[in-house]
Amino acid sequence: MILSTSRPVIKDPSWVLNPITEVSKEVKHALILSSDGMVIGATEGLLRETAEGISAMTAALHGAARAAANAALEAPDGTPITTITVQNTHGTYMIMPAGARTNTFIAVAGGLDMPMGTVAHIMARQAKKLGEQLMSVPARTQEAS
């Protein structure tokens, strides 16, 4: 498990990611990232350098997808999106926010036969749990810094 050195909110992200990766052998890897592209946690076997690159690109993808969707749908600029799914000839990549105001996402990559509906359901369940966990952490104060 890759852990963030800059965001120690989740000491062991396996409680979030393992239920997702255990759904199917077609799930290649999963990660938790911040909206600014920082890795918060990733599954075993995903090299830190790879996870950092994926996280940075995912943050950019999310921002671009939200801007494009809001423009196309004539939605206000700040309107959030719930899920991004990208498919190509190698599989599927899904991104989902973890709570409404956490600025944290869960991303999952899987093969062509990954059961997308099941994985999306488990992702949503885990994203909700993660969002609740993140929102329950007390805010830092100047005295604590």
Helices then strands, counting H and E runs in the chain, come out as 3, 6
CA 77/CA 38 separation, integer angstroms: 23
For the stretch 6-55, pLDDT in tens is 444 567 889 999 999 999 999 999 999 999 999 999 998 899 999 999 99
For the stretch 108-129, pLDDT in tens is 999 999 999 999 999 999 999 9
pLDDT of residue 25: 96
pLDDT of residue 132: 85
Domains and CATH numbers, the chain: 2-135 (3.30.450.30)
CA 39/CA 56 separation, integer angstroms: 8
CA 33/CA 56 separation, integer angstroms: 9
Q: What sections of 33-101 are H helices per DSSP? A: 48-72
CA 97/CA 107 separation, integer angstroms: 9
pLDDT of residue 5: 42
For the stretch 47-78, pLDDT in tens is 999 999 999 999 999 999 999 999 999 999 88
Which residues pair with residue 42 across a beta bridge? 2, 31
